[in-house]
Structure 1
């Protein structure tokens, strides 16, 4: 097999990988899948472009004895159009629409040159014509996908049927309504009270699980617009996809007929040609399947513009809606990182941490439980209900700045920088958990305990692996000083040498004689800004609530869980929309769902009525 044949098959392989794995980034956090998709995405265009140039050069060489099928050139143009499941790997790719137009003109010109050179001597040159048209359409769709298309109002009319399928339709359509509001928010335009009232009413009438499902679908819409070609569906999309699919099928049929009667190509070239044509047909069929199984298809089929009776349409959509119910639109998990899982400052690990964040580096991942969603939803709704945005004394900036709800926490970390307060609370939560585990009657599986621990580890995971989402300056400094301090206390030279058991044993020694141990910890601080002393002091203060104030253990852990939800909400509002959007391509983050939930309830700097907008402007001066 010659070099060109290998390049053609490699290009087909890369397109197949992108087609079947390109959209799994929205819910997959594994390193290897993301690496394979990244490698395929970075290589696909280069291989197709190089192959097209190699093919053009081979036609200018009169000494070339082999007749190469002319439709290979437009097939490469088809590959450059890419699959439906991925158009951009990162947000930066969405800024390249003008360059893509130039590439389309250039590559189409090269493909046209190859066809011109083979026009008189290739007996199956007419196979290339439908493939060429299909390639132009696919490449044009890719360029168009890099733009943010205008959104049509599909209406807010509810389906009257009470079936489970009707419920799925209503859920997708309501998520679409929320997405329209979010698009306005993502452009940093202040949404007036009427818009916020509509989204607030829609969200506040739901249960926690249903609300998070709506936000999950909504973020799926955003992912599709940013990273794939599956966006709004219209008759234009249906016609273009039909043309490309029929073109591939007709080219395959015509080629098989001609080669059966008279085959002028070598055996290898004929076999490669069949593989390329069959691959084009299968990729087109996969593209149509992806489109029909998307949430956008549900919107289009049940829109007010579609003809037919609503109940009849829902009955026909039942198989599609059953797939919608099972579809996973994000990882539904959150990274976990313990202070005891400290990383060293070695360059290799720093690079791996920056570019390969996920299961490879995080201590573990845990599912986002329904109990945690209930806790978050309840607390966000409580924050929303404590203030009336229509009153003149309403200040959403002060509301969003809240980081605690109980005096013990306010006293310990009031006025402390967010990164330091996060580390202090993480240490305190860990020490309280170790202390309570000494009691045989302590239930580790209580919702408040599990939520506290998972949120504590999740926030530290964000600090270490996703610092941009916490909008922190020099995020690693305070963390590095704390882990270095802990290493000295354990008499270890290497930061990443201690184990969880060693650290837990050290904290366990703190409990019988806290005053002596705290003094030792402070002396070892050596003037650095470690969070260990304040974290241990906060832990002792929390533990004393049960004896000093008569709190039950459950009440204490409920308070701790509420504090962590407050910190989660505070962090969610600090993170910019760009960072939230980038996180969608890595499996998604719980922080993004919380930010969107708060935004729809008006708890955002961008969701201010006129009186609050004036306050925001005054404070910005």
Structure 2
């Protein structure tokens, strides 16, 4: 009989199966422990794919190894080292517990807490059974017991973290005590008895003074701002945590009105947009750690106690194994494997302890408990926060289309709380098949130098065939398109200050509930209406508002303004930039970013996108056909925009093509021609784009925001939180409050 698997390979597997897989499991724990925090600091898909693979392989490797140990315990070849196998089994519980830096890869994983709880029970029983079979002759019973205790604690921490981050539990923590209100039946009974007795009785309900005062404070309270006051790093963390506790209800679409006045008042008075950004970054960091890490369960009294026990257990186990004579008769390589497991576990515990001490959670506890009387401790935390502070600096290379004095975010990647970059995707560039130029590097020309035309044509056909036969059926087209054509741009200080000031001004105008509704639902029309009132031009602004915003869906409006912005940006006319704010650069940056969200992040835009993907594909198809007919190719963006602008658009495209195609290419050309007539063209365009960004952030599903913070974070997440702090979300629109009714019996 022919053996499918060679005998030599079978023997190798019998010798190395447990050893190899348990070391592989340890290596995955190291990758996750050190690499998982980076996923909140980068949006790189390849890096996130590595973390995703490690996350799922880690659970498989640990469970598989426990299964190998359990099934092979009676094998004659390994029964001689059964004590050692029983010692190795609890290490898999440690691995199943996972590192502090990641408990869930996605929000959906938190809902699987019950599965992990059952897995915890089964794996504990299996490990304990293997251990019992070696008693009473097991010489390693003490270090095994210590590691077993640490493993149970670690896995319990993970299960508890998943449970607390699950949607139902998280929402439950945000619910206040039920309030039945005044006893209606008793009051009505008294009212009826008075009526029967023919007494002149009436029910009086007056506006509650407390509620009225609260409403007045929310809608109109604005104390004078102290322009000289800046937040220090301690205050940034304190306010970040304080507002996180208030606004974490946004995650489950459940927020309370109790503290809205304090938040809005704070952000209206804040002297520098940069300080507001720091507070929002800390909030996002807390949201990430609550949903995807163990930090929320280890930063309390029980958590500190259990962590001390588990760490000391690992240390004691290493000490016992090293000093006590219990290694006699064991294979030298197996002893080295055991030391590797022990030292690996101890090293991870030491790093975890360092992360636990130097974290935002510990800083908050330090501030709340007022231990700052100890100047030495305060100095240490001050130094820690100084190292972690966000940084702005001029770019090393001049940014395209902006001045060299523009400040950009340059916090070292290991210290960031989010990616600190703004992605971009450009429709015209994509249709011309041009790779984007990164903002921080100059791409070399990608020409087929030294390759004959015939060979190049053949390579192109092979590439096209692979794309159709392999890439598209596997659903990897969007992944590759984002990898090749999405740009990564610097997050500039001017961009943030512009967004902050726009929302600040809108917050000041939100003095009535109906104004909040209008502002939170505006997607460009509010800005155009304001400009019409201030600068005249009723016909032009009314055309822009009606035809390109109000009478079209959001996704159509976004595509129209994106293409029109690109055409104006590369237009032949020279723009004389005299304003302090570079509106042209901001318009281009936000325009490309919004299309990136629409095309590359459809889950974030699903609530407002409509048939955005169909409209985008049809527009791309028409653009490619037009560029092909005009003989345009890569690196000819300016020529493409000028050709589009030169097209005669006296007749609307829908009257020529009908409504079969959803393309908006030439409608956008019409919009571009209308925008060219504006005196302050780029100022208007930039403010329209910020309003579109605000609308998208306000109407994006909360779970999509929460998911994104684990994948580098986005500018839209910051805008979402900022709008909530300014009270520009519809949840804060509430009607007049009335106090309890009073039964009045007239004389």
Common fold by TM > 0.5: yes
Out of 288-297 and 522-531, give the one that drifted further: 522-531
Q: Is the contact made by 2:246 and 2:255 (CA closer than 8 Å) also made in structure 1?
A: no
Out of 311-320 and 175-184, give the one that drifted further: 311-320
Tell me what 1:618 maps to: none
Q: Structure 1 residues 443, 98: closer, same or farther in 2, change over 3 A?
A: same
Q: Structure 1 residues 602, 516: closer, same or farther in 2, change over 3 A?
A: closer
Shift of 1:475: 2.5
Q: Is the contact made by 1:45 and 1:80 (CA closer than 8 Å) also made in structure 2?
A: yes
Q: Is the contact made by 1:86 and 1:227 (CA closer than 8 Å) also made in structure 2?
A: yes
Tell me what 2:602 maps to: 467
Unaligned stretches of 5+ residues in structure 2: 1-14, 175-228, 391-414, 434-463, 529-540, 739-747
Is 1:458 matched up with 2:593?
Answer: yes
> Cα RMSD between the aligned structures?
3.0
Is 1:242 matched up with 2:242?
Answer: no
Is 1:81 matched up with 2:214?
Answer: no
**1:238-387 to 2 correspondence within 5 Å?**
238-258=304-324, 262-304=327-369, 307=371, 309=373, 313-325=377-389, 327-340=415-428, 341-342=430-431, 348-349=471-472, 351-352=475-476, 356=479, 360-387=483-510
Q: Is the contact made by 1:487 and 1:498 (CA closer than 8 Å) also made in structure 2?
A: no
Tell me what 1:557 maps to: 682
Rounded to whole Å, the distance in 2 between the matches of 1:123 and 1:396 is: 72
Q: Is the contact made by 2:556 and 2:612 (CA closer than 8 Å) also made in structure 1?
A: no
Rounded to whole Å, the distance in 1 between the matches of 2:418 and 2:635 is: 33
Tell me what 1:402 maps to: 522
Q: Structure 1 residues 222, 120: closer, same or farther in 2, change over 3 A?
A: same
* Cα deviation 1:122-161 (Å, max 9, x = unaligned): 322211111111001101100111114759xxxxxxxxxx
Instruction: Please identify the structure whose Cα radius of gyration is greater.
Output: 2
Shift of 1:560: 0.9
Tell me what 1:534 maps to: 667
Is 1:222 matched up with 2:295?
Answer: no
Q: Structure 1 residues 228, 362: closer, same or farther in 2, change over 3 A?
A: farther
Q: Structure 1 residues 165, 410: closer, same or farther in 2, change over 3 A?
A: closer
Shift of 1:420: 0.5
Q: Structure 1 residues 357, 235: closer, same or farther in 2, change over 3 A?
A: farther
Is 1:506 matched up with 2:633?
Answer: no
Q: Structure 1 residues 445, 114: closer, same or farther in 2, change over 3 A?
A: farther
Q: Structure 1 residues 561, 74: closer, same or farther in 2, change over 3 A?
A: same
Shift of 1:312: 5.7
The correspondence for 1:40, drawn from 51, 54, 60, is 54
Q: Following TM superposition, where does structure 1 have runs of at least 4 consecutive aligned residues deviating by more than 4 angstroms?
A: 310-313, 342-347, 356-359, 440-446, 497-500, 516-527
**1:471-620 to 2 correspondence within 5 Å?**
471=607, 472-491=609-628, 499-511=633-645, 513-515=646-648, 527-545=660-678, 551=679, 555-611=680-736
Give the aligned length. 582
Rounded to whole Å, the distance in 1 between the matches of 2:106 and 2:310 is: 27
Rounded to whole Å, the distance in 2 between the matches of 1:492 and 1:263 is: 82
Q: Is the contact made by 1:444 and 1:450 (CA closer than 8 Å) also made in structure 2?
A: no
Rounded to whole Å, the distance in 1 between the matches of 2:350 and 2:629 is: 60
TM-score, scaled relative to structure 2? 0.73
The correspondence for 2:584, drawn from 426, 449, 463, is 449
Q: Is the contact made by 1:191 and 1:608 (CA closer than 8 Å) also made in structure 2?
A: no
* Cα deviation 1:9-39 (Å, max 9, x = unaligned): 0000000000001121111111221111111
Q: Is the contact made by 1:598 and 1:604 (CA closer than 8 Å) also made in structure 2?
A: yes
Q: Is the contact made by 1:29 and 1:586 (CA closer than 8 Å) also made in structure 2?
A: yes
Shift of 1:208: 1.3
Q: Is the contact made by 2:366 and 2:372 (CA closer than 8 Å) also made in structure 1?
A: no
The correspondence for 1:120, drawn from 136, 151, 155, is 136
Rounded to whole Å, the distance in 2 between the matches of 1:313 and 1:88 is: 33
Rounded to whole Å, the distance in 1 between the matches of 2:423 and 2:480 is: 10
**1:151-170 to 2 correspondence within 5 Å?**
167-170=232-235
The correspondence for 1:13, drawn from 16, 27, 49, is 27
Is 1:434 matched up with 2:570?
Answer: yes
The correspondence for 2:253, drawn from 176, 188, 191, is 188
* Cα deviation 1:101-140 (Å, max 9, x = unaligned): 1111100001101111122333222111111110011011
Rounded to whole Å, the distance in 1 between the matches of 2:344 and 2:582 is: 50
TM-score, scaled relative to structure 1? 0.87
Shift of 1:439: 2.7
* Cα deviation 1:443-477 (Å, max 9, x = unaligned): 99962111100100000000101122122233210
The correspondence for 1:95, drawn from 104, 107, 111, is 111
Q: Structure 1 residues 299, 425: closer, same or farther in 2, change over 3 A?
A: same
Is 1:54 matched up with 2:119?
Answer: no
Q: Structure 1 residues 252, 230: closer, same or farther in 2, change over 3 A?
A: same
Rounded to whole Å, the distance in 2 between the matches of 1:611 and 1:398 is: 18
Shift of 1:280: 0.5
Rounded to whole Å, the distance in 1 between the matches of 2:649 and 2:161 is: 64
Rounded to whole Å, the distance in 1 between the matches of 2:660 and 2:708 is: 36
Q: Structure 1 residues 580, 60: closer, same or farther in 2, change over 3 A?
A: same
Q: Is the contact made by 1:131 and 1:251 (CA closer than 8 Å) also made in structure 2?
A: yes
Tell me what 1:134 maps to: 150
Q: Structure 1 residues 600, 537: closer, same or farther in 2, change over 3 A?
A: same
Shift of 1:434: 1.2
Q: Is the partner of 1:127 in helix, strand or coil?
A: helix
Shift of 1:313: 4.3
Rounded to whole Å, the distance in 2 between the matches of 1:175 and 1:353 is: 39
Shift of 1:501: 3.1
Q: Structure 1 residues 308, 379: closer, same or farther in 2, change over 3 A?
A: closer
Shift of 1:504: 3.5
Shift of 1:400: 1.6
Q: Is the contact made by 2:564 and 2:671 (CA closer than 8 Å) also made in structure 1?
A: yes
Out of 526-535 and 278-287, give the one that drifted further: 526-535
Rounded to whole Å, the distance in 2 between the matches of 1:302 and 1:129 is: 38
Shift of 1:294: 1.6
Q: Structure 1 residues 67, 241: closer, same or farther in 2, change over 3 A?
A: same
Q: Is the partner of 2:489 in helix, strand or coil?
A: strand
Q: Is the contact made by 1:216 and 1:329 (CA closer than 8 Å) also made in structure 2?
A: yes
